[in-house]
């Protein structure tokens, strides 16, 4: 069952894709000594004591069903993955919410790491198609410029972001861009050169989809 949060007129719903491979927390957080984790182990680690990320996106839409449907990040992609042998589940998770790929009006990429862009593109052999055919894809210009350089490029960017330009659906983002009334991008450069959050303000409440601004609940 998906988790949802209400921010004024908007409903923000977690859209799971897949669980990441477990890693040693010391590798991910080398400056944190083991004893500092002690108060948070039950909420920060899996049952075996490993650090494990959930690959997911977030759906933003008005609770009354009007207005644009926004998907923030698209998970790791179709898979299957060696650590589980299973495929990615983002599209199945959307279907469980009665949302089809064609229903998405805007895709926002918080940053161009592989676990946030995996379902952007669907490949038919050598031919790319936008997985969300009705959507404009909002990607920070700083990330586009950085990862388009040969010395910074990688397979995930080349496969899941670069083709968006030729498909005519790419919308480079500079600064704050309004996606819907009260919903806008929020630059938080650092994790990548163009990392961005999505801020929702409605009914006197404020919510922020943080991307990888924070890597662990602890």
pLDDT tens by residue, the chain, 218 residues:
579 999 999 999 999 999 999 999 999 899 999 999 999 999 999 888 888 889 999 999 999 999 999 999 999 999 999 999 999 999 999 999 999 999 999 999 999 999 999 999 999 999 999 999 999 999 999 999 999 999 998 999 999 999 999 999 999 999 999 999 999 999 999 999 999 999 999 999 999 999 999 888 88
What's the whole-model pTM score?
0.94
pLDDT at 1: 57
| Residues recorded for the chain | 218
SS3 164: helix
Fold of 4-209: Metallo-beta-lactamase; Chain A (3.60.15)
Q: Which of 22, 1, 18, 100 lies closest to 56, judged by CA?
A: 18
pLDDT of amino acid 2: 72
Which residue reads 């969300």 in tokens? 132
How far apart are the C-alpha atoms of 54 and 14, rounded to whole Å? Answer: 11
Structure tokens given for 179: 């996606």
CB atoms within 10 A of CB 48: 7
53 burial class (0-12, 13-18, 19+ CB within 10 angstroms)?
middle
Give the integer Cα–Cα distance in Å for 153 and 149: 6
């Amino acid at each position: 069952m998906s988790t949802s949060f209400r921010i004024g007129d908007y409903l923000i719903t977690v859209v799971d894709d897949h669980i990441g491979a477990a890693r040693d927390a010391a590798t991910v957080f080398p400056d944190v000594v083991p004893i500092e984790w002690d108060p948070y182990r039950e909420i920060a680690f899996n049952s075996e004591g490993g650090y494990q990320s959930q690959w997911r996106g977030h759906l933003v839409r008005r609770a009354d069903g009007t207005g644009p449907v926004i998907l923030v990040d698209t998970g790791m992609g179709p898979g299957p993955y060696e650590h589980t042998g299973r495929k990615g589940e983002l599209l199945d998770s959307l279907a469980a919410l009665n949302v089809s790929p064609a229903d998405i009006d805007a895709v926002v990429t918080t940053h161009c790491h592989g676990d946030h862009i995996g379902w952007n593109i669907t490949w038919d052999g050598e031919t790319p198609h936008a997985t969300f055919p009705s959507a404009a894809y909002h990607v920070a210009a700083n990330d586009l410029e950085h990862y388009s350089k040969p010395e910074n490029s990688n397979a995930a960017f080349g496969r899941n972001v670069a083709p968006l330009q030729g498909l005519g659906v790419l919308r480079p983002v500079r600064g704050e861009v309004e996606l819907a009334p009260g919903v806008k991008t929020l630059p938080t450069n650092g994790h990548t050169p163009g990392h961005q959050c999505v801020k929702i303000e409605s009914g006197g409440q404020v919510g922020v989809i943080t991307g990888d601004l924070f890597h662990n609940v602890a």
